């Protein structure tokens, strides 16, 4: 167990950040999963901007690496174009 007040606070704040980051990451993964199930091009084109915004937001929160985000967005756009 930590001995310093600052170390105890660091443990508490790290746990809060971990839970929050897991929420953002899981929400994004679920949205991507649901998006990949879409079969109509009109629906996919309507949903894509919101999903791209979510991915970019997670990059700015340091939850996702920018190259991983670029690969995700690219594959999602390819999916929309193939419909």
pLDDT one digit per residue (tens) for the chain, 83 residues: 778 999 999 999 999 999 999 999 999 999 999 999 999 999 999 999 999 999 999 999 999 999 999 999 999 999 999 98
2.60.200.30, 1.20.58.110, 2.60.40.10, 3.30.360.10: CATH of 5-82: 1.20.58.110
Q: Residues near 41 by Cβ (< 8 Å), separated by ≥ 6?
A: 80, 83
Q: Are 59 and 66 in contact (CB under 8 A)?
A: yes
Give the chain's radius of gyration (CA, Å).
Answer: 17
Q: Where are the domains of the chain?
A: 5-82
Q: What is the pLDDT of residue 16?
A: 96
């Amino acid at each position: 167990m930590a001995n310093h007040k600052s170390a105890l606070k660091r443990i508490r704040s790290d746990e809060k950040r971990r839970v929050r980051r897991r929420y953002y990451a899981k929400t994004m993964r679920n949205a991507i999963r649901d998006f990949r199930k879409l079969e109509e091009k009109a629906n996919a084109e309507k949903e894509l901007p919101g999903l791209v915004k979510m991915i970019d937001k997670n990059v700015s929160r340091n939850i996702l690496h920018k190259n991983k985000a670029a690969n995700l967005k690219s594959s999602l756009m390819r999916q929309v174009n193939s419909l």
